[in-house]
Chain A
């Protein structure tokens, strides 16, 4: 990752664009990725609050963090695009829900919390898994159904979990993870370990009854739960205005405070999550609505263009793309040159390609894996094969 400045030479200056050339000619440049002196940035969009006081728009960050954001988001973006090609090559089957466009939510959230705090989400979980410390090999092997996958190939795209990093999945049924998230918060309160749980759901799931049931209980018992609505404005194939009478999801909690955040701005997300964590530990649940967007369709079997125009998608990509924002911020704050950022992207691309190659070599699960992990070890339950006679296995 260290950038060799030994290459500093007239030819290098000639390669760089004018802006960077001007910078490189200055006497002293901060090297990227190691500086931790705080920088303050103001978010472009203010927070809107419901029943609470909005946090300030000024966010503290460091050069290291910003470049780190760029790197991780580029990694996530690259991984999702690679998953797209793998799906079209039929190496990934079934359902594949891609997160590109929404990376800022995953990244900003991670920056504000620790691994002791829990995150639970629905099926758009690849990037959140990466954010929680999952490796690219885990991700691609699981997507291709191989043994090296995070769920041993038995879960698939919608079932990524990482217990040691506090990532609780990975759930296929819309909205069903919200009561689970409240359960995580309940356990945290029970064990008194000063951590919080983030239960992520989408604008489609915001119309599920179980959300309101869970919200009521969380508020009743002051559970340290933060419900994060990743509002990408489309619930599967239906736009939010056609599915919800009140698309102000942060207000839907009624008696529960809420905050509306620009979900394409990683720093705003970070600020909001920090604020939410403090709030949840003191006062109980809070709802965060992340105003974000997904470039792909709902899943790989949805073209994503039947219910929205291509102009809308490219418009968001031009104006609000989270990675571009961080890139512009980094460049304007003179934290790295454009070439360095491009190098990062190339590195990331290579990492992803390597991981895919490695994942492809991982074998398919052994047929005996069909019966493992049905019950916890040691029950000695017998299972019969299809004909009840030939195959008899004791469930391990």
Chain B
């Protein structure tokens, strides 16, 4: 009975998957087994053309995302790639897409001549000109709206928020126009916009600049949300977001921009709706995303020493959740711990807890534990700021309690 429910749910997710690619030519194989499905990813061209390239995929996806320590070795096992930092990976992805499709453009504060406040758009203005890499005045509400309007006619803008917190000024545009126009126009308008920017806690930037807005945006119908955490998935998700015909919000993290990793030389695009298996395990499923992934992996080292075998999944896709991967993991381990940086009240963890409880309740041996940030404005003082987010020690304690 439970299996049937699972399969049934799986089918409906796949259905929504195909709708999100918005082309009648896309046909995703529903009946594929889970392992096959996980090994392949879909490359969607901006004209809606779909390429299911599982042979190439198998080399990249499954090998490259093993444990954190192995990732560098594993990727270079397939093909010697090149090493770079996360912001350079984002830049590479962006540049490749701009090269490929002349309709892709960037707009934001200080993205052009200044090169971007986190250097993601460095050098692009000199290469593509001032109109394609547009320096906007400080007017988030209007330039986000402008991006959405441009997207309605077919342009593929990427709106950069200098900090995710500033996008609150554009919330109306994102919620009402970006999210809803495809629906309210009966499918006439597509909004292939990408809204990206850094958020998160960690550089003592004060309350207003350390926002975690995943929770604010997650209820907006019509948008997709992804969070990148490594240079590899940053580039892949950037490219996928740009190629997607849906509005995508790409969450980056202020502390992760200088992460170094070796990524493949050849072109690759990741699936926006897929979660990443960081470390397979048997005892407990730890679901996380963005910076907390690193805290979890740090805790995982301690846990392994203590004899536990945690399975760590970087959920990556914050809306919709990849309940395939998650469900499979729950089916295996029967215990779930969610570690996130989002606010406790109404955050991603809260939604994920609800979703897992609803769908996989029979598989759970213990209540889901969700570790999230405190429900306070982020204080400036360093010690207090550390206490606002989940620390590896708390993760270890939680796993130990969960596995009792």
Taking Cβ atoms with an 8 Å cutoff, the residues of A that contact B are 93-95, 142, 145-146, 151, 153-159, 171-176, 204-205, 207-209, 235-238, 242-244, 306-307, 364-365, 367, 369-371, 374, 383-390
The 8 closest A-B pairs by CB, nearest first: A156-B380, A145-B381, A172-B208, A237-B114, A207-B137, A94-B204, A93-B204, A154-B379
Query: Contacts A94-B206, A95-B205, A370-B384: A238 and B379 contacting too (C-beta < 8 A)?
Result: no
Q: Report whether A94 and B205 are in contact in the complex, using a CB–CB cutoff of 8 Å.
A: yes
Closest to A156 in B: B380
Would you give 7 A-B contacts (Cβ < 8 Å), ordered by A?
Answer: A172-B209, A173-B168, A174-B166, A236-B110, A242-B113, A369-B384, A387-B394
Report the separation of the CA atoms of residues A205 and B137 in the bound assembly, to the nearest whole angstrom: 8
Q: Report whether A306 and B114 are in contact in the complex, using a CB–CB cutoff of 8 Å.
A: yes
Contact with A along B139-151 (1 / 0, CB 8 A): 1011000000000
Greatest chain A CB density within 10 A among B203, B372, B383, B384 is at B384
Cβ of B376 under 8 Å from chain A:
yes
Q: Residues of A contacting B374 with CB < 8 Å?
A: 370-371, 383, 385-386
Q: Report whether B379 and A236 are in contact in the complex, using a CB–CB cutoff of 8 Å.
A: no
Query: Contacts A367-B384, A371-B376: A387 and B369 contacting too (C-beta < 8 A)?
Result: yes
Report the separation of the CA atoms of residues A307 and B117 in the bound assembly, to the nearest whole angstrom: 13
Q: Report whether A172 and B142 are in contact in the complex, using a CB–CB cutoff of 8 Å.
A: no
Q: Residues of A contacting B387 with CB < 8 Å?
A: 367, 370
Report the separation of the CA atoms of residues A204 and B388 in the bound assembly, to the nearest whole angstrom: 32
Report the separation of the CA atoms of residues A158 and B372 in the bound assembly, to the nearest whole angstrom: 26
Q: Residues of B contacting A145 with CB < 8 Å?
A: 204, 380-384
Q: Residues of A contacting B113 with CB < 8 Å?
A: 237-238, 242, 307
14 other A-B residue contacts (CB within 8 Å) besides A365-B379, A386-B374: A94-B203, A94-B209, A142-B380, A151-B380, A153-B379, A157-B380, A172-B206, A174-B166, A204-B137, A237-B114, A365-B381, A367-B387, A384-B344, A385-B374
Report the separation of the CA atoms of residues A205 and B109 in the bound assembly, to the nearest whole angstrom: 12
Cβ of B375 under 8 Å from chain A:
yes
Closest to A374 in B: B376
**Of the residues A95, A154, A208, contact of B381 by C-beta under 8 Å:** A154
Q: Report whether A146 and B110 are in contact in the complex, using a CB–CB cutoff of 8 Å.
A: no
Q: Residues of A contacting B208 with CB < 8 Å?
A: 158, 171-173
Report the separation of the CA atoms of residues A51 and B117 in the bound assembly, to the nearest whole angstrom: 39
Q: Report whether A386 and B394 are in contact in the complex, using a CB–CB cutoff of 8 Å.
A: yes
Contact with A along B188-219 (1 / 0, CB 8 A): 00000000000000011111110000000000
Question: B138: shortest Cβ distance to chain A, in Å?
Answer: 5
**B-side interface size class:** 35 or more
Report the separation of the CA atoms of residues A371 and B372 in the bound assembly, to the nearest whole angstrom: 15
Q: Residues of A contacting B209 with CB < 8 Å?
A: 94-95, 158, 172
Question: B174: shortest Cβ distance to chain A, in Å?
Answer: 16
Question: B399: shortest Cβ distance to chain A, in Å?
Answer: 10
Q: Is the interface of B mostly helix, strand, loop or mixed?
A: loop
Q: Report whether A95 and B138 are in contact in the complex, using a CB–CB cutoff of 8 Å.
A: no
Report the separation of the CA atoms of residues A159 and B381 in the bound assembly, to the nearest whole angstrom: 12
Report the separation of the CA atoms of residues A156 and B203 in the bound assembly, to the nearest whole angstrom: 12
Cβ of B220 under 8 Å from chain A:
no
Q: Report whether B382 and A364 are in contact in the complex, using a CB–CB cutoff of 8 Å.
A: yes
Query: Contacts A173-B166, A236-B109, A236-B110: A365 and B138 contacting too (C-beta < 8 A)?
Result: no
Query: Contacts A158-B208, A209-B141, A370-B374: A364 and B135 contacting too (C-beta < 8 A)?
Result: no
Cβ of B169 under 8 Å from chain A:
yes
Q: Report whether A238 and B109 are in contact in the complex, using a CB–CB cutoff of 8 Å.
A: yes
Q: Residues of A contacting B231 with CB < 8 Å?
A: none
Question: A117: shortest Cβ distance to chain B, in Å?
Answer: 26
Interface residues of B in 349-394 (CB under 8 A from A): 369-377, 379-384, 387-388, 390-391, 394
Q: Residues of A contacting B222 with CB < 8 Å?
A: none
Q: Residues of A contacting B136 with CB < 8 Å?
A: 243
Report the separation of the CA atoms of residues A93 and B210 in the bound assembly, to the nearest whole angstrom: 13
Closest to B130 in A: A242
Q: Residues of A contacting B204 with CB < 8 Å?
A: 93-94, 145, 156
Q: Report whether A175 and B138 are in contact in the complex, using a CB–CB cutoff of 8 Å.
A: yes
Report the separation of the CA atoms of residues A244 and B136 in the bound assembly, to the nearest whole angstrom: 9
Report the separation of the CA atoms of residues A207 and B113 in the bound assembly, to the nearest whole angstrom: 19
Report the separation of the CA atoms of residues A307 and B112 in the bound assembly, to the nearest whole angstrom: 11
Q: Residues of B contacting A236 with CB < 8 Å?
A: 109-110, 114, 117, 138, 162
Report the separation of the CA atoms of residues A146 and B206 in the bound assembly, to the nearest whole angstrom: 14
**Of the residues A171, A244, A367, A383, contact of B137 by C-beta under 8 Å:** A244
Report the separation of the CA atoms of residues A378 and B142 in the bound assembly, to the nearest whole angstrom: 41
Question: B145: shortest Cβ distance to chain A, in Å?
Answer: 10
Q: Residues of A contacting B391 with CB < 8 Å?
A: 386
Query: Contacts A172-B208, A387-B401: A235 and B137 contacting too (C-beta < 8 A)?
Result: yes
Report the separation of the CA atoms of residues A371 and B374 in the bound assembly, to the nearest whole angstrom: 9
Q: Residues of B contacting A365 with CB < 8 Å?
A: 379, 381, 383-384
Query: Contacts A155-B207, A207-B137, A243-B138: A387 and B397 contacting too (C-beta < 8 A)?
Result: yes
Cβ of B52 under 8 Å from chain A:
no
Q: Residues of B contacting A207 with CB < 8 Å?
A: 137-139
Report the separation of the CA atoms of residues A302 and B394 in the bound assembly, to the nearest whole angstrom: 36
Q: Report whether B110 and A156 are in contact in the complex, using a CB–CB cutoff of 8 Å.
A: no
Report the separation of the CA atoms of residues A267 and B344 in the bound assembly, to the nearest whole angstrom: 52
Q: Report whether A387 and B382 are in contact in the complex, using a CB–CB cutoff of 8 Å.
A: no
Closest to A240 in B: B137
Q: Report whether A154 and B380 are in contact in the complex, using a CB–CB cutoff of 8 Å.
A: yes
Closest to A367 in B: B387
**Of the residues B110, B142, B169, B379, contact of A370 by C-beta under 8 Å:** B379
Q: Report whether A370 and B138 are in contact in the complex, using a CB–CB cutoff of 8 Å.
A: no
Report the separation of the CA atoms of residues A174 and B166 in the bound assembly, to the nearest whole angstrom: 9
